[in-house]
Amino acid sequence: MTELDLSLRGQAAAIAAGEIDPAALLDAALARIEERNPTINAVVETFPDRSREMLAAAPEGPLRGVPVVIKDEWPLPWRAQRFGAAEMFAHTEPAESGPYRALRDAGAVIVGVGNMHELGASSTGNTSVYGAARNPWDTERCPGGSSSGPAAAVAARLVAGAVGADGLGSIRFPAAYCGLTGLKPTFGRSALDGHHAAAVTETIVSGPLCADAADCRLFGSALFGESLEGGDASGLRIGVVRDTVSEDVAPEVGDACEAAIEALRAETGGEVKEVELADLAPATMSGVLIINAEMLNGITPAQLNDVDPELSPVNRGFVKYRMLLPVAAVAQAKRMRALMRRRLAALFEQVDVLAWPTVPAVAPPLEAPLVELPSGTLTADQANVRGGALANLTGIPGISTPVGFSSDGLPIGLQLQAEWGRDELLLDAAEALERANGRRWVELLSPLAAEGEPTEA
Active-site residue flag, 170 = yes
Which residues 6+ apart lie within 8 Å of 243 measured at CB? Answer: 277, 280
Beta strand pairing status for 237-241 and 353-357? parallel
Residue 292 beta carbon to other proteins: minimum distance, rounded to whole angstroms:
9
Question: 67 or 287, CB closer to other proteins?
Answer: 287
Q: Which of 362, 360, 443 is nearest to 407 (CA)?
A: 362
Residues facing 161 on adjacent strands: 210
The CB-of-240 to other proteins minimum distance in angstroms stands at 21
Nearer to other proteins, 189 or 195 (CB): 189
Catalytic site residue from 7, 51, 71, 123: 71
CB of residue 385 to other proteins, shortest distance in Å:
10
- CB closer to other proteins, 57 vs 331: 331
Identify the active-site residue in 170, 246, 286, 446.
Answer: 170
Q: Are 206 and 194 in contact, with CB atoms under 8 Å apart?
A: no
The whole-angstrom separation of Cα 431 and Cα 434 is: 5
Q: Which residues contact 382 (CB under 8 A, 6 or more apart)?
A: none
- CB 302 to other proteins: min, Å: 8
| Cα-based angle 352, 353, 359 (whole degrees, multiple of 5) | 180
* CA quadruple 262, 267, 271, 275: dihedral sign: negative
Nearer to other proteins, 57 or 281 (CB): 281
Known catalytic membership, residue 71 = yes
Check residue 159 and give left, alpha or beta (phi > 0: left; psi -120 to 50: alpha). Answer: beta
For the bound state, the minimum distance from the C-beta of residue 410 to other proteins, rounded and expressed in Å, comes to 25
Asked about 286 being catalytic, the answer comes back as no
Q: Where are the alpha helices (DSSP H) in 276-326?
A: 280-296, 301-305, 313-322
Q: Which is catalytic among the residues 7, 122, 123, 146?
A: 146
**Which chain residues interact with other proteins by CB under 8 A?**
186-189, 202, 279, 281-282, 284-286, 288-289, 301, 304-305, 313-314, 316-318, 320-321, 323-326, 328-329, 332-339, 341-342, 344-345, 348, 379, 382, 394-395, 419-421
Q: Which is nearer to other proteins, 13 or 339 (CB)?
A: 339
Peptide bond into 406 cis (omega under 30): no
Q: Which residues are catalytic?
A: 71, 146, 170
